[in-house]
Structure formats: structure tokens, C-alpha cells
Structure 1
Amino acid sequence: MLDDGVFFDTLRQGLWTAVIISTPILSVALVTGLAIGLFQALTSIQEMTLTFVPKLAAIVIVFWVTMDFMTETLVAFFEGHVIPLIAGGS
């Protein structure tokens, strides 16, 4: 059985890793959405696909560019925290 402190520390590290990994994608989605919204407000174009398609393209590009960073971060978390707990270490 895991000690409560070890469990909550692992949970905290996992949530922090999720925040670190998702920050690039979420920030690009936010900036792209704001830019497209500003463009729509300035030109009075209210097309739904105009917000969706560029935001999706930006997210896919950022995901492709930061995939190595995300993979290294997840591997480091699992090798440093999760696998030692599974193997019986603390």
C-alpha cells in the first residue's frame, strides 16, 4: 500500500506534468482564437469555420513541433516517479 504522502506527491507531480505538457497547445489555441475573434470583429464576418479551421491547424502544428518535448517530459515522469512505485521503491 502507498503511504498517503507518497500518493499525493505522485498525484501532484502528475498534475504538474500535465500542466507543463498542455501549456504550449493551450496557449497557441488561446492566441489563435483571440486573433481570429479580433479579425471577425473588425471585418464583421461571422463564419463558424473561420474560427475552427485555423485553430485546429495551429494546434496540430504546435503538437507536431512539441511532440519530442512532451514525450521526454512524460518519460521522465514515469521513470522518475511511477515506475519506482510500481517496482516497490519509494
Structure 2
Amino acid sequence: MTPDLAQQLISSMLWNAFLIALPLLGVTLLVGLLVSVVQVVTQLQEMSLSYIPKLVATLLVMVVLGPWMLSRLTTYATDVIKMISTLN
């Protein structure tokens, strides 16, 4: 394995991890900001109020985008496993 190939594999792995995690992190960030604004406006500082909406939003994103995430991950894993046979 050459250093260039190792760098390419690491780059591809990090890019796929970023793309898979981006929808979850983005939605959680937006919901967290919205809940924080509501808490500041209403002066309601309930701890469960910040966790439950983020949890529900994350679950909804997992249900909607889960098949895409899984197919992207399996495609990457399949490509890496196929590449093993070409290594010297």
C-alpha cells in the first residue's frame, strides 16, 4: 500500500463520515437553536424541553434518511473490501 492510496482511503472515509453525519448534526443544531430561542423568550428553563425535541428530530431524520445513510455506508465498505484484492 502506497502512502497516496492510504491518504486517499482516509480522505474518502472522512468525507463519507461527514456526509452521513451532516443531516443529523444540522437538524439537531437547528432544533436546539429554535428551542433555545423559545426558552429565552418564555423564560422557561426546563431541561427536558431541550432534549426531547432534539431527540424527536434526530429520530425523524434517521427514519427519513436512514436508507440513504445505510446505502452510502455499505457502498463505501464494499468498495474498500473490493480494493483489498488489488493490493500487493
Report the residue type matching 2:84 in the other structure.
Answer: I
Unaligned runs of 5+ in 1: none
Paired with 1:72 and 1:21, the residues of 2 have a C-alpha distance of 10
Q: Deviations over 1:37-85 (max 9, x none)?
A: 00000000001110001101110111111111001111221222x1123
Paired with 1:34 and 1:87, the residues of 2 have a C-alpha distance of 47
Q: 1:27 offset after TM fit, Å?
A: 0.6
Report the residue type matching 1:74 in the other structure.
Answer: L
Unaligned runs of 5+ in 2: none
Paired with 1:8 and 1:29, the residues of 2 have a C-alpha distance of 31
Q: Tell me the SS of whatever aligns to 1:34.
A: helix
Paired with 1:88 and 1:21, the residues of 2 have a C-alpha distance of 27
Q: 1:89 offset after TM fit, Å?
A: 4.4
TM-score by length of 2: 0.92
Q: Deviations over 1:11-47 (max 9, x none)?
A: 0000000000011100100010000000000000001
TM-score by length of 1: 0.90
Q: Tell me the SS of whatever aligns to 2:44.
A: coil
Paired with 2:3 and 2:47, the residues of 1 have a C-alpha distance of 48
Aligned alpha-carbon RMSD (Å): 1.4
Paired with 1:52 and 1:87, the residues of 2 have a C-alpha distance of 46
